[in-house]
Amino acid sequence: MAPLPSAPHREDMQRSLTLSRRLFASPASLPIAFALDGRPLTGIPADWNPSARRRRLDASLVETVFEGTDPATGLDVRAECIEYSDYPIVEWTAWFTNTGSRPTPILRDILALDGVFEGASPILWHCNGDFYSQDGYTASETPLEMGHPLAFAPHGGRPCDRAFPYFRLRFGDGGLSIAVGWPAQWSASFARVAGGVRVRAGQEQTHLRLAPGETVRTPRMAVMSWTGDTRRAVNLWRRWHRDHLLPRTDGRPLGPRLCAHGTGDGEEFTAATEENQLRYIEKWAAEGIPPDVWWIDAGWYPCYDRERKRRWWETGTWQPDPERFPRGLGPVAQGAARHGADLLVWFEPERVRPGSELDREHPEWLLTAKGADNRLLNLGNPTCRQWLTDHVCRLIRDNGIRIYRQDFNFEPLAHWRENDAADRQGMNENLHVQGYLQYWDDLLARNPGLWIDSCASGGRRNDLETMRRSVPLHYTDFGYGNHPVKLAFHHILFEWLPYFKESTLAWDVHGAARYDHEIDRFAWHAGLGPAIMPCISIARDDYDYALMRELVALWRRAAGPMLTGDYYPLTPIRRTPEQWVARQFDCPEEGHGFIQGLRLPACPVDTLTVYPAGLVPDAMYRFENSETGQTKDVSGDVLARDGLLLEAPRRRGVIWFYRRMDG
């Protein structure tokens, strides 16, 4: 049987093997760079007595650890390099440790990647990340020209804020997908050189001395080799993400989740109580729509301002508010579990507000910045991190929390840099990153079955290291009910971060101020994703709950292929209401998938012909529109020649599920 178009091919694997043999041929060839005491260095120098140790981690992963120590200063460099046998991926991280008895000379300009990738006519795919704007998640493709390098860095210390740490470097017959795993202030540059492109990436600022026993690390770099077009690149990445990054529950990759909540009358969850949470859970179940996740967001803790008003952003006292949850959140978790739902709870531990418990009791753990009200909890302080780990683990255990949701609603960069000494620039940031990742690793290790939702004012901290431990359910704070913009955002998510949550708001009809509007079929079509949050006020009785049950069933049928299938956009990516948006999710191993078309509100055209991808030419496919009951049988070669006709009135969606009839 011919290999699947979107699965790894022998040519992909050979390119990756050739790349890894060049990058990791010896300690001296490693693509890391730094300067020590003014001396620029690449790899691990030969006079540092370097060594290499190779071991198999599992059936798919082989690790090679390169290590060497400078005899003059005691600076030890260790590079951990991972090669995959099932995907054309290589990853690496480097660690710098002072093994001597005195501070090191200045260690500066540490780069996780400084190397040349060969190829002709390079074109760079890049994206501007998330920043509360309709222009967020905008991708560009830029041909690289001699003498005109492109440089990227996020804004304010969160890695996806106005930049995106994921790139595709396309040459004539294939290319590379490159990710920078650094949940803070990274930088990357791409410069065309003779025969290829020089890529440099690392923490943006490092100019520091290491005290005896101290360690800093580089970002985690990942490079995927691929042949063919960018559609293959996209789906190779999606498959790798699903097989190796997506969190697992009960030994299986995380599956689709229906999320639900009931907020009460306050802002966010400041009016949530044990009584109303239990009542809302029972109401969802009574309507025949039991959720998979019961969602409690910001405001469940004591969050009182100076006037004793509850303000969700008054963070730093992490315990259930005894006035509203006298028995903690445990009864809510038990009520949710009775109907098969896991309890999700929001935290924002890194932001500490004046007057909160952490501010009063542990000011020594806080970093401040000029003009900033928010204090930063210093996760680079081991005592602080251990306290936070123990405290949150108790909250998770005592309150039945199954999903830990962490937010980060301010820019930390000034808090790090203003507290760095002149010979320690970048140190606070580096130690904080190490502490943050260790904190999450410890939460996961000490709470079997727990999974993590990453949030940072929307999607501003979704780098590779964070995504190895979490999923980005809430990928933006912008445009929840703005369908043209939201569907354009989806395109980037489906390409790089394929597990996310969507909502069913419809601002074009009901306005941006409404979060409890009528159940809207079109909003459900536009809100399909691997996880979904129906936006209703469960306290109301006047909804068409029968329609909602129908739409939940539609979502459940589509959610699986959206997560596990190959993704093909079938229309250009635009952000205006005068268009059709069409996309396909195909599961070639099982021979099924679906094609969805959405005719946006101002689109003047009744029909759209799309040309499906990935189908077998000589196979027959049965198509079904479950909303109308229509079916039709079409062969793969006819679809390739004539396409599939989509028809819909304005502001409607249509989904054709299909299955290969011999599958």
| CATH code, domain carrying 385 | 3.20.20.70
Amino acid making up residue 124: L
Q: Is residue 3 in a domain?
A: no
Over 50: is that where the pLDDT of 492 sits?
yes
Percentage with pLDDT > 70 across the chain: 99
- Beta strands across the sheet bearing 257-260: 451-454, 401-406, 342-347, 293-296, 257-260, 531-533, 501-503
Burial of 598 (0-12, 13-18, 19+ CB in 10 A): buried
Domain match, 334 and 481 both: yes
Percentage with pLDDT > 90 across the chain: 94
Integer angstrom CA distances of residue 123 from 176, 199, 573: 11, 13, 19
Nearest-angstrom CA–CA distance, 624 and 554: 12
DSSP string, 131-194: SSSTT-S-EEEEE-BBTB-EEE--STT-TTBSS-SEEEEEETTEEEEEEEE-SS-EEEEEEEET
Question: Residue 406 has what DSSP assignment?
Answer: E
Amino acid making up residue 147: G
Confidence of residue 590 (pLDDT cuts 50, 70, 90): very high
DSSP string, 89-106: EEEEEEEEEE-SSS--S-
Tokens 């006298």 sit on residue: 326
Helices (H), 228-329: 230-240, 274-286
Domain range holding 478? 248-564
Domain match, 584 and 502 both: no
Confidence of residue 152 (pLDDT cuts 50, 70, 90): very high
**Phi and psi, residue 455, nearest 5°:** -140, 145
Over 90: is that where the pLDDT of 515 sits?
no
Return the closest-CA partner of residue 503 out of 481, 519, 518.
Answer: 481
Q: How many CA atoms lie within 13 A of 583 on its CB side?
A: 24
CATH of the domain at 644: 2.60.40.1180
CATH of the domain at 33: 2.70.98.60
Nearest-angstrom CA–CA distance, 83 and 616: 32
Q: Is residue 54 in a domain?
A: yes
Domain match, 203 and 257 both: no
Cβ-contact 401, 333 below 8 angstroms: yes
Token pair, residue 309, equals 């008003």
Q: Is residue 4 in a domain?
A: no
**Residues 177-221 pLDDT 10s:** 999 999 999 999 999 999 999 999 999 999 999 999 999 999 999
Query: What average pLDDT does the segment 493-503 reach?
Result: 97
Over 90: is that where the pLDDT of 461 sits?
yes
Query: What average pLDDT does the segment 307-332 reach?
Result: 97
Domain match, 500 and 549 both: yes
Question: Residue 374 has what DSSP assignment?
Answer: P
List of residues 6+ apart from 632 with CB closer than 8 A: 622, 623
Domain match, 632 and 538 both: no
Residue 511 pLDDT? 80
Nearest-angstrom CA–CA distance, 532 and 73: 54
- Domain end (from 527, 544, 564): 564
- Domain end (from 213, 237, 261): 237
List of residues 6+ apart from 251 with CB closer than 8 A: none
Residue 663 pLDDT? 55
Residue 514 pLDDT? 66
- Domain end (from 564, 579, 597): 564
Over 80: is that where the pLDDT of 2 sits?
no
- Range scoring the smallest mean pLDDT among 371-385, 445-459, 505-519, 607-621: 505-519
Domain match, 228 and 292 both: no
Pairing of strands 501-503, 531-533: parallel
Q: Is residue 552 in a domain?
A: yes
Domain match, 528 and 600 both: no
Burial of 402 (0-12, 13-18, 19+ CB in 10 A): buried
Domain match, 232 and 253 both: no
Domain match, 183 and 305 both: no
Domain match, 549 and 590 both: no
Q: Is residue 281 in a domain?
A: yes
Here the contacts of 319-323 (C-beta below 8 Å, separation 24 or greater) are: 319/395, 320/399
Token pair, residue 20, equals 């890894």
- 20-48: string of b/e by CB count within 10 Å (b at 16+)? beebbeebeebbbbbbbeeeebebbbeeb
List of residues 6+ apart from 69 with CB closer than 8 A: 48, 49, 75, 76, 77, 99
Q: Is 137 left (phi over 0), alpha (psi -120 to 50) or beta?
A: left
Residue 513 pLDDT? 65
Element (H, E) at 599: strand 592-599
Nearest-angstrom CA–CA distance, 127 and 452: 25
Nearest-angstrom CA–CA distance, 215 and 431: 8
CB atoms within 10 A of CB 437: 19
- Please give the distance of CA 543 from its chain centroid, rounded to a whole number: 33
Question: Residue 509 has what DSSP assignment?
Answer: H
Confidence of residue 518 (pLDDT cuts 50, 70, 90): confident
**Total count of domains within the chain:** 3
Return the closest-CA partner of residue 416 out of 364, 353, 367.
Answer: 367
Q: Is residue 5 in a domain?
A: no
Token pair, residue 411, equals 């820019």
Nearest-angstrom CA–CA distance, 133 and 113: 31
Q: Is residue 445 in a domain?
A: yes
**Residues 595-649 pLDDT 10s:** 999 999 999 999 999 999 999 999 999 999 999 999 999 999 999 999 999 999 9
Name the average pLDDT for the chain: 96
DSSP string, 11-46: HHHHHHHHHHHHHTSSGGG-S-EEEETTEEEES--G
Confidence of residue 1 (pLDDT cuts 50, 70, 90): very low
Q: Is residue 243 in a domain?
A: no
Domain match, 544 and 594 both: no
Element (H, E) at 553: helix 545-564
**Residues 398-430 pLDDT 10s:** 999 999 999 999 999 999 999 999 999 999 999
Confidence of residue 264 (pLDDT cuts 50, 70, 90): confident
Nearest-angstrom CA–CA distance, 580 and 484: 10
Query: What average pLDDT does the segment 277-287 reach?
Result: 97
Domain match, 557 and 571 both: no
Nearest-angstrom CA–CA distance, 226 and 84: 14
